[in-house]
Structures are given as C-alpha cells and as structure tokens.
Chain A
Amino acid sequence: MKILAALLIASSLSASVPTELTQTDFISSVMRYVYLWSDSPESSDKIWVRLVKIKTDKGDHSQFAEMWLPAQKLLIDLKKADYQVPERNLTMKDNGFKIRLVKHLPKAPAPISGWKVLALPSKKNLTQKHVFPDETAKIQLKKALGSYPDTGEACYIAPVSQVSNELWVFCESPKLALRFSTDVKLTDPLSVHAIDLNKEGIPPEWAGRLLYNTVILGEKLDLD
C-alpha cells in the first residue's frame, strides 16, 4: 500500500509537466544548446524534467522549469516569460520555454520522485539548421555594436537557438565576447554582458566553444 501511494504521488507530480517541455523537438534543441555551449550530453541517456514554483511579482505569470542530466550532474534552468514591463512599454510574453542558464551541481536540486524522467532523443536529432537574426535585427545589432567603443571592425555572431533568448558576438580586435540577452525581444536587449577575452581566468574550454560558435558556425558581421 505504501509503495502504491508513493507511485501515485510521483505520478501526480509528473503529470504537472507541460507537454511542450517533453516534446522530442524541444528536448533536442535544448540538448543542442548544451552541446554547443556547455557540455557534451553523450554520456547521458535520461533527462529529468520538472516545473518549479517561483514567487513572482503581482501580475507576472511567468513559468519556470528545470531539466537535469544525471550523468553529467548538469542543471538546465528554463523560463517562459509572461509579464508586463510598463516602464519599457513592453509585454514580455514568450511562446515557449527558454534556457536561462546551464550549470553543474554536486547533486540534483530535488529527489527523483519530483521529476518526470524521459529518455534522451536520438543524437541524430541534435543536427539542426543554423538560424541567424534577420536583416532588421542585424542592422539594430550593428548599431548597438557601433556604439560600443571596444569592438573594432570585425565581429562574428553565433547562430541563434530557438530555446534561448541570447545572442553571442565575438569581436576580433580587441578580443571581446558580448552577450545580448532579453526575456523576449532580442533586438531590444536590456542586458549586454561584455567579457574581455584577454583577461586572466577565462576558461580555455569555454573560449574554444565561443570561437567555434561565432567564427566557425557563425556569420561575419561587417561593421564598416
């Protein structure tokens, strides 16, 4: 009887995960992002998924979720924005969950009973066509980069992931990485994070991923 009760509890928690988080295409896109920017998912065959209750502001209906790769002990934090920013006259309503961050943890943030456990999609699903910002967005991006005093003349943009609201740019001289991020509209970012690649402490593996994503997979953005 006790076992049955435990199974029922686990089942009810699992049932609260929206279908969009468990679809093969979505998980494949998340895995591709992780593969390109963080860690190889090759050693995992399972992924855990759950919704997370976060206290938000009044009128903010954003949803938060987590994915956990047990083999790598890797947490993927997701958000589906749904709120107003009256000061910016913006409605931040996203059409799907987007990755907020990916990080290693010593252990899962909750016991397995609170998660829906899924098989990872086939590796062949990791291959996707590269998507870049459209011409209008590129013009705005060039404008933003032009106002930045440290960018030099040539920059490269990484392909945009459909499960992320961030855009990485690498500028050659001086060596600089720029992350444009927002909750919904990439062409109107509030947050620009600049990383001086000449500084000490830049992890070589991450720098390699940045260059691969921007210079190899990316597009050159001529700032002349």
Chain B
Amino acid sequence: MKIALVLIFLSGSTWGMNVELEPADLPIGYVTRLLINEVAFPGEPLYKSEEDSKQAMFEILWVLDNRAHHPPPGYTEWLIARTSYKNIIDVITAPNQVEDFYRGPKGQLLTAWRVIARVDYLTRLANEGPMGTFGRLLNYAQDLSQSYFENRQKGTDLFASLSHVYSIPVTGRGYAWMTENSPFQPDGNFLAIPRNIKGAAGGNQFYTLRKVIP
C-alpha cells in the first residue's frame, strides 16, 4: 500500500513535466513547433484521432526531407519550391514555403507570434493534468524531430512507392502538404494523394508530383 501511495504521489508530482520542449531557436525545437503547429488537435474540426495527427506529423517531416534530399528525376529544387537549399531548415524558412516560419535578418530561426501563442497554449494544457492526448502529441513531435537530427528518422515515407494517382503517373514520395480546408491548393504538377491511401491526415492534404521525362 505504501509503495502504491508513493507511486501515485510521484505520478501526481510529475504533472507539470508532461512536456518540455527544446528551445525554439534550435533546429530540434524549431521543427518540433512546426510539426505541432501544422496538425489538428482535439477540439478542432479537422481532428480525427491521435493516431491520425501523429501520422500527419510523420509525413510532414518526410515531405521536408524529400524536398531537401530527394528531388525526383526531371525536377530540381528550384522547380519544386522556387529556391535552393541544403537541409530541412532551409526548406522550412525559404520564402513563401511554410507560412509563419522564417529567418530573421541575422539568420535566426523565427516564427509568427500566433505560432508561439498556439504552441504555448497547447503545452500549458498538456502540463495542467495527467498525461493525455495533448501531451502525447507534443512529445511525439519532439521525438520525431530529435530522431531526425540524430540521423535516425523513423520509418519510411508512406508514399515512397506511389506510382499513380487517378491513373496519372507520379514520382512517388510526398512533396507538399496543405491544410485540408484551405481555400488554396498547390497547382502546377502537384497532385493530391487520395484519402483511401492515407493522402489526408491530421487536417492536411498531402501531394506528390506528376512524373515528367527528365
């Protein structure tokens, strides 16, 4: 009984420690905030489930990596994103790429105030009680980001071997995402990946590229 009580006490005392995010100006913390900011949380209309939002974070990280390191045959970085880059931080902060994430005049990693407000709010909610969905989603984002920067990216891109979308030949891999209910969608050679093959998750639609002859 004593042991059980001590365990309960310890568990209670860690409520404030459910989530501790890395600093936002470091790559791990910066990417963590992007993954958190981009997916739906409970209470939001596009939220379906914890698993669905985690899948979206996972795939967003792959989109960033694909853009940085896996341009498909016939495409250059410039054709995909009108810029060139060496790593996923460059991808994120390139002009007109990920909304609200950019570099300051001295190259520092910055986000819009609304990203800061949202992430702070979600973190506060996650830390106000026992570990729940909010805490698990935030920690998952940080775990994904940390693993990535330690060169052990988890799993494989869900769309790596995708060859056709509605009978149109495609390059495979995800190259863009957009909030599902956004009034805008990427145009040009981007093709929305159908829902029945998990092309939409966490409130986001994912896109691959039309195959071109190099």
Contact = CB atoms under 8 A, between A and B. Distances in A.
A182 B45 contact: yes
A87 B132 contact: yes
Given A87-B129, A87-B134, A192 B49 contact: no
B86 interface: no
A50 interface: no
Interface residues of A, number: 42
Given A87-B133, A195-B183, A183 B45 contact: yes
A64 B185 CA distance: 23
A202 B42 contact: no
Given A87-B133, A201-B184, A100 B43 contact: no
Contacts of A55: 48-49, 51-52
A121 to B, nearest CB: 24
B187 to A, nearest CB: 9
B96 A149 contact: no
A183 B183 contact: no
Interface in B58-117: 96, 113-114
A214 interface: no
Contacts of B180: 100-101, 103
A190 B114 contact: no
Nearest to B166: A106
Interface of B: 40-52, 96, 113-114, 121, 125-126, 128-129, 132-134, 166, 179-181, 183-185, 192, 194-196
